[in-house]
Chain A
Amino acid sequence: MKEIVVISGKGGTGKTSITASLAVLGGKEVVVADCDVDAADMHILLQPENLKSEDFYSGELAVLDQNLCTQCGNCFDVCRFDAISVNNGIHQVVDLSCEGCGYCARVCPVDAIKNIPLNVGKWHIANTRFKQPMVHAKLGIGADNSGKLVAHVKNIAKEIADQYNRKYVLVDGSPGVGCPVVSSLSGAHFVILVTEPTVSGLHDLKRVYELVAKFNLRAGCIINKSDLNTSKSKEIMQFFKHKNIIHLADLPYDEAFTHAMTNCKTIVEEDDSAIKTILEQVWERVKTEVRNKN
């Protein structure tokens, strides 16, 4: 089983639309994992039917029992996250600020503070409308630990792939360079970077590639809307050359992408789409690259 991870640095470059298209092209060879747990959108295109759903617990939250509290202030003194508030001498936990370190509970002389496991979201095993297994999740509002939920979604997807003999786990990663992206990348066999020829597209690509390079991963890149700014596209290609990134494809600026999405479909389901042919070539190329790696 090989893990292919799609990321972008910058949001809104077409990452999810492209990943869902590759999932459709991959058919029965793939297990889909939506690791953009912060703003998961792939279910809109693949319309999975959930077979199993479970809560995900990660980290802790301090809970203060006013019946036991002597208002001594030890908790307030040690908290580095401004998560203990004091109003008229009454100490309270500010849930959204608490990072669950547990320091307050340790210094409370009367055990008035307990740490409870925190429900940070829900994850699902599902069947897409193409009858592929898909693992996806939704992070609770304001939750921390999205990296752990990402790791969990990926692990479940890998187990399913092993069990059902699927060749690839196709992962839709999240934007940025922080903990969910780091979790998405760990264990990947190949990374697909989706970018656009804009000043911010290139800027974010460079940053996220630094991360990819830290993990020593092989990567290929798709330039979406490549004809929007041809000189910027050339600049991106220079960057590929310099960094040994495989240039997988250029996709034209085409509102057909948005039309397909508005109909909750992937672009490769549109019969006469030129983009479909390009993405078929991308998928074949990626499979070759993944095979050649070992």
Chain B
Amino acid sequence: MKIAIASGKGGTGKTTLSTNLASYLAETNKVVLTDLDVEEPNSGLFLKSELIYSEDKYKMIPQWKESDCTLCGICQEACNYHAVIQIMDSIMVFPELCHSCYACSELCPTNALPMIPKKMGELKHYKTEQFHFVEARLSIGEEQAVPLIKQTLKYIDSNYGNDYLKIYDSPPGTSCPVIEATKEADFVILITEPTPFGLNDVILAIETMQELHKDFGIVINRYGIGNNDIVNYCHNNNIPILAKIPNDKEIAILYSKGELLYNSIPAVKAELEKIAQYISALSANYLPTQIPKNN
């Protein structure tokens, strides 16, 4: 079963929930946690883990071969992203604009634009005491998160079968990176805080999940601050509230140090248990997920 944790607004507790939930569920399940917030991956900061594998990730971009080029202009015309431009008698490629569609390269009559790999980021695979953790990290200056998210999801799919509970820490927002990170998920947990900002952004996230026809539920973080609007909104729209993590300065302090919460704060453990039970009830539909760990 695949569970994505997303939020709309940044800083509402995605990474806190992902790391604590993965750790808690790993006590009784086989779990792999993946950090898909490739622009700012943070999950690893909260986990004690050992690196077991890493690889560079590449995207393909065209490279101009001057000797074979007839300056026919087809490449420039074919590129919808203006990533290939003819200036005087040379062809310029702008890698950060390139989407790797291959049109310029394959439509070139003289094969003067072969595709070559360009590093866009790194994938690292770690092992904690209880579960596996994969992180993808976009190189600074690379603008497109989607290709790296795609490759990371492929890595997970080819390394982990259905007997694993797969948890994805997703990027914030509602645009293309979030869609990529959540579109294959069986269930999405949207985490928010009970403030006007939190409500505004979670409604955007809810609309996104409805558009994707996703099954989803809400976790309210820092419960107790702000107002009751998010609770009312969920009740009025029949959206399940899976858990309410209390507002507590102690939680903020533990988080600031990079520590997991549930072993020190019983109220957090109780809320994680509620989420675990909800997932367990759902996963009956996604057998054979709940295979005991030692089998």
Contacts and interface: CB of A to CB of B under 8 A. Distances in A.
Nearest to A199: B258
State the 9 A-B residue pairs at the shortest beta-carbon distance, nearest first: A12-B11, A11-B10, A101-B101, A38-B173, A176-B39, A199-B258, A229-B256, A11-B11, A179-B143
Contact of B176 (A103, A143, A175, A207): A143
Given A9-B40, A78-B102, A228-B252, A199 B172 contact: no
Interface in A45-88: 59-60, 78, 80-81
Contacts, number: 177
Contacts of A175: 10-11, 39-40, 172-173
A265 to B, nearest CB: 10
Nearest to B205: A39
A144 B173 CA distance: 12
Contacts of A174: 173
A103 B256 contact: no
Contact of B45 (A41, A96, A199, A208): A199
Contacts of B40: 9-10, 175-177, 200, 203-204, 207-208
Interface in A215-257: 225, 228-229, 232, 253, 255
A209 to B, nearest CB: 9
Contact of B256 (A78, A144, A178, A198): A198
Interface string B134-147: 00001011111100
B107 interface: yes
Interface residues of A, number: 61
A115 B107 CA distance: 18
B93 interface: no
Given A78-B106, A142-B211, A179-B144, A10 B10 contact: yes
Interface string B223-254: 00111000000000000000000000100110
The residue among A11, A60, A146 with the most chain B CB atoms within 10 A of its own CB is A11
Given A103-B103, A141-B207, A142-B176, A178 B78 contact: no
B80 A39 contact: no
B175 A146 contact: yes
B175 A211 contact: no
Contacts of A262: 195-196, 225-227
